[in-house]
Amino acid sequence: MVIESGVAVKHSPTAAMKGSKLAEADFVIVGSGSAGAAMAYRLSEDGKYSVLVLEYGGTDIGPFIQMPAALSYPMNMKRYDWGFSSEPEPNLGNRRLATPRGKVIGGSSSINGMVYVRGHAMDFDHWAETGAAGWGYADVLPYFKRMENWHDSGHGGDPSWRGNAGPLHVTRGPRKNPLFHAFVEAGKQAGFELTEDYNGEKQEGFGPMEQTVWKGRRWSAANAYLKPALKRDNLDLIRCFARKVIIENGRAIGVEIERGGRVETVRARREVILAASSINTPKLLLLSGIGPAAELAEHDIPVVADRPGVGKNLQDHLEVYIQQASTQPITLYKHWNLFGKALAGAQWLFFKNGIGASNQFESAAFLRSAAGVDYPDIQYHFLPMAVRYDGKAAAEGHGFQAHVGPMRSPSRGEITLKSADPAEDPRIVFNYMSHEKDWADFRRCMRLTREIFAQPAFDPYRGKEIQPGADVQSDDEIDGFIREHAESAYHPCGTAKMGSASDPMAVVDPECRVIGVEALRVADSSIFPRITNGNLNAPSIMVGEKASDHILGRHPLAPENAEPWMNPRRQTSDR
């Protein structure tokens, strides 16, 4: 029985959920992003439990989010982005780097670049080896398959490695621009591997890039999971600001929220699940009294669980853009004017096709930086235009570019509170480029890109180097360019690390339960023990899928012992 407006009513999911009048459910999920939306879908699937999703952001309706080619807009709009930035980064000229996180239905999956990368098999085996038992590649592969609806479009790849019945459509761009093929051919000419499907058996090499786009629309976690699930009577969403988790006698019983200028409590009968991003999740844990005791004491927050790892282990991918002028007027620059944008927008609006229907990242590469490196540690996004993430085109006009960066930086940062005020943004310190290895890896990335752009495949198109410019050659000159121009790839993770309960720095156990607190879980990119190889949307959704089975007490899907391709020359060559 529950009390509604002073009247006792028999509990049913429908009674509890309709119109959100009763702020109580079996499961309360904070955040509607990649993992949160997947959990909302799975936890409400069989109708047994009521589920409430708490989301601060608003609707994702409109072309800025739904049109793939408009990706540079939502991540720069206050309406859709939390607007975080890092503290001054000492190794990057004290620049404050933008740290976008989605403040909208679908979270960051609604403002990201829509690139789909599972990560390498060895990433997940490393998770398992370092304490996240049951999260090796054999364990997570069935969840990647369950979530996917893969459309190979006859471009190659082995369907046995992929899923074909999940909610998440994964497609490939049309690759009509000859520069996409020049990039892949140049990689081959430089002696590197080719791959037909970097999300399948073989990640290493040059090949087509995959995107979460379906029928010309961004296929976010909101479109794939949340909106279909919201049609169920036992799932609802409340727009509100989550202030902290309410914990009584060591057990999470609900979430303190603010909406309409009032502070209220949303109660969870079974569990509270945080999926609020690798920035907001540790912030909420700290505000709730879960974290390093000394830090909590500084803000007069009573300690519920002394977990030194909360907010630590922050990781990200940094990248630089190597830009080359094009001697032929075939790049996207020809559309980069008022008329071109209007035409592309109209074509997308009425037909959901044309250049607006792709994120334009249609060719990719995953390479190893040196002999002795077991699996790829460099990622390329190739774009047939010279443009920045904020949508500002290179003044040079026609050009193309490669986004390149190392995948496994040893640098670690942290998220801490500035105060005990929930309304104040947390302090974000990435500590980028704090190891000499970072600098050596980036120099290698830049010189490798120049080698690829110098191959015969680019002869018909290659003009002068726009950025960094031919005069930047020595280690010191390259380091100066990196210091001034390196940008985040927007892949923060790791701030509530998953590990064994005996690991003092672990925040959650391998079933995503917060160590030292009952009925509280974390399931988003915060729990990654180490950053994966590539973009983080896919592994974040996978975490939501797998965590759902743990939350429901189900046996995890049966492991699949598929052997990934490993380069037979890896000990002696980088290619």
E strand segments, 76-134: 84-85, 98-99
Is 491 assigned a catalytic role?
A: yes
Place of tokens 């609707």: 59
Pairwise CA distance, residues 158 & 161, whole Å: 6
Residues facing residue 172 across a β-bridge: 210
> Is position 24 annotated in a ligand binding site?
no
Cα 401-403-407 angle, rounded to 5 deg: 160
Q: How far apart are CA 443 and CA 27, in angstroms?
A: 48
320 a known binding residue?
no
Binding residue per annotation — 213?
no
Q: Is 459 annotated among the ligand-binding residues?
A: no
The answer to whether 442 is annotated as binding is: no
User: Would you call 566 helix, strand, or coil by DSSP?
Assistant: coil
39 marked as binding residue? yes
Distance CA 270, CA 293 (A): 27
Of the residues 299, 491, 550, 555, only one is catalytic, namely 491
Distance CA 77, CA 456 (A): 41
Q: Binding residue per annotation — 37?
A: yes
CA dist., res. 404 & res. 548, Å (int): 34
Cα angle value 245/248/249 (rounded, 5°)? 135
> Is 17 annotated for ligand binding?
no
Q: Find out whether 272 is annotated in a ligand binding site.
A: no
To the question of whether residue 448 is assigned a binding role by annotation, the answer is no
Is 291 flagged in the annotation as binding? no
**Under 8 Å between Cβ of 19 and 262:** no
538 φ/ψ angles, rounded to the nearest 5 degrees: -60, -50
Is the distance from CB of 227 to CB of 55 less than 8 angstroms? Answer: no
> 205 among the known binding-site residues?
no
Residue 52 annotated in ligand binding: yes
What would the DSSP string read from start to end of 265-320?
EEEEEEEEEE-SHHHHHHHHHHHTTEE-HHHHHHTTPPPSEE-TTTT-SBB--EEE
Q: Confirm whether residue 50 is marked as ligand binding.
A: yes
Q: Is 245 annotated as a binding residue?
A: no
Task: Tell whether residue 36 is among the known ligand binding residues.
Answer: yes
Is 41 annotated in some ligand binding site?
yes
Q: Say whether 47 counts as a known binding-site residue.
A: yes
**Strand pairing category for 205-208 and 210-211:** unpaired
544, amino acid identity: G
List all residues 6 or more positions away from 61 whose beta carbon is below 8 Å from its beta carbon.
Answer: none
Q: Which residues are annotated as a binding site?
A: 26-55, 104, 112-115
The residues annotated as belonging to the active site are 491
Pick out the residues of the known binding site for FAD.
26-55, 104, 112-115
